Structure 1
């Protein structure tokens, strides 16, 4: 053990003490770690076909007739509390009627918030509210800020 047996013994004990935690760190994650990971996953946006989406490039607002949709979405934030992005709201003017109408585009800021457990998949959280802010023009009769509840 060399010239200082006490120093060698302390060094060996310290090395052994450090090796034990390092060995368990590479083991499979515990159930607690898995649950924590699931709870910290970012919420999803549920589309008209009941499919969960994260940072979609487009989103249909009018599921029944398709006369209002968000397109060219660019997400600046997407986390456990809210999502914020920019895009265009393409809306059919339905003039003289929807099948013969014209789509008009309006730039918007999109905010998703109020995440909750999704009834279809309680392990998944989804945003339950969407707020659109029209940044340059808006459809006739629309306020500058519109808030929609999103389905559960």
Structure 2
């Protein structure tokens, strides 16, 4: 491909992007005449997904809603919760149950073994802006609770 072909192919895409950019500000904050319009179900689904808080367990992971696992100790991966079954995921709190794997670090973390236990998780402290949970508390069957910080955006 020569440079003229590349430039010509980019023009329709640029034109579409520019047209979309012009339409976006027109809809933001504008007053409507009150005429009801049918909602686009795809747009409504995207909007609903966008409003749910996410969680980022470590800076190298992508934000997620209802992940099946969370890393609690990012530096050495010495604590994590797997097989999470979420009971609820709301705008201020999420709760679920899973299996926590913790490194005993005995005699040291490199030579430690992992122990597992069932835990209940509660995600809280939504950061705004950013819309991410920034704290997770795990509680085991004996009532031992531990709070872990989560990554914010």
- 1:66 Cα deviation from its structure 2 partner: 0.8
The answer (yes or no) to whether the contact 1:47–1:59 under 8 Å persists in 2 is: yes
Q: Cα gap change, 1:128/1:145 in structure 2, threshold over 3 Å: closer, same or farther? A: same
Of the candidates 93, 99, 105, which is equivalent to residue 116 of structure 2? 105
Report how far residue 114 of structure 1 moved.
Answer: 1.7
* 8 Å contact kept, 2:80–2:102: yes
Shift of residue 94, structure 1, vs aligned partner: 1.6
Q: 1:84 aligns with which of 95, 118, 136?
A: 95
The alpha carbon displacement at 1:26 in A equals: 3.0
Does 1:43 pair with 2:49? no
Pairwise CA distance, 1:46? 0.8
Contact 1:40 1:80 in 2 (8 A): no
What are the within-5 Å matches in structure 2 for residues 1-152 of structure 1? Answer: 24-26=36-38, 37=47, 41-48=51-58, 49-118=60-129, 122=130, 125-136=131-142, 144-152=144-152
Query: How much does 1:97 deviate?
Result: 2.1
**Between Structure 1 and Structure 2, whose CA radius of gyration is higher?**
1
The Cα RMSD (Å) is: 2.9
Measure how far apart 1:47 and its partner are.
Answer: 2.4
TM-score norm. by structure 1 comes to: 0.64
The alignment of Structure 1 onto Structure 2 pairs a total of residues equal to: 115
Unaligned runs of 5+ in 1: 1-20, 137-142
TM-score, structure 2 as length reference: 0.64
List per-residue Cα deviations over 1:15-62 (Å, max 9, x = no partner): xxxxxx5xx523779xxx98xx47971100012115201111111111
Conserved? CA contact 2:57–2:150, under 8 Å: no
